[in-house]
Amino acid sequence: MDPTQTPPEHAGDGEFQPWLALQKATDEKRANLLADVVGHPKGAPSVAELDYMNPDLGEDAIRKHIQILREVGVIEELVVEPGDRVRGYPYKFYTLTDDARELFDRNDLFPREAWQRQYGRVEKSAEISQLEEMPRPEDVPAT
């Protein structure tokens, strides 16, 4: 059986399940969030940045969608170490997992260049522009 056809009842064994990942990633609201993750200049936005790009959702809903995407191995959380955190700034950022990027590339989903152009066209507040410039916990490929 093709791994992209793995039924959801076989998920949860700790192995990346492409079928389940695609199912969860293509929900409209989660797809919009993923497009913003892919389009982000550093490939790893914070919840505040995602909230700015998706004001109709709100931070609590964004966190719930991120949790679903994390559970199926699409998103991973990057955390700034406690000693390196700056008061008043986010310390958690979200990026695609390698498995998700490979799956999306194979299926022509969430192309980086297209979403980076789209993301770049959005006028940002000074606060969001400043957040975009923050270093992330680890280098994330932006291209």
DSSP 50-119: HHHH-TTT-HHHHHHHHHHHHHTTSEEEEE--GGG--TTS--EEEEE-HHHHHHHHHTT-S-HHHHHHHH
Confidence of residue 15 (pLDDT cuts 50, 70, 90): confident
Q: What pLDDT is stored for residue 13 in this prediction?
A: 53
Confidence of residue 88 (pLDDT cuts 50, 70, 90): confident
Q: Which CATH architecture has domain 15-132?
A: Orthogonal Bundle (1.10)
The mean of the pLDDT values for the chain is 88
| Residues 6 or more apart in contact with residue 105 via CB below 8 angstroms | none
Q: What pLDDT is stored for residue 10 in this prediction?
A: 41
- Three-state DSSP class for 40? coil
pLDDT digits (tens, 9 = 90+) for 40-82: 999 999 999 999 999 999 999 999 999 999 999 999 999 999 9
- Which is it for the CA torsion 53, 59, 77, 96, positive or negative? negative
DSSP 105-132: HHTT-S-HHHHHHHHHHS---HHHHHHH
Flag whether pLDDT at 105 surpasses 80.
yes
Give long-range contacts, CB 8 A cutoff, 24+ apart: 96-103: 96/34, 96/37, 96/38, 96/43, 97/16, 97/73, 99/16, 99/18, 99/21, 99/73, 100/21, 100/25, 100/73, 100/74, 100/75, 103/4, 103/18, 103/21, 103/22
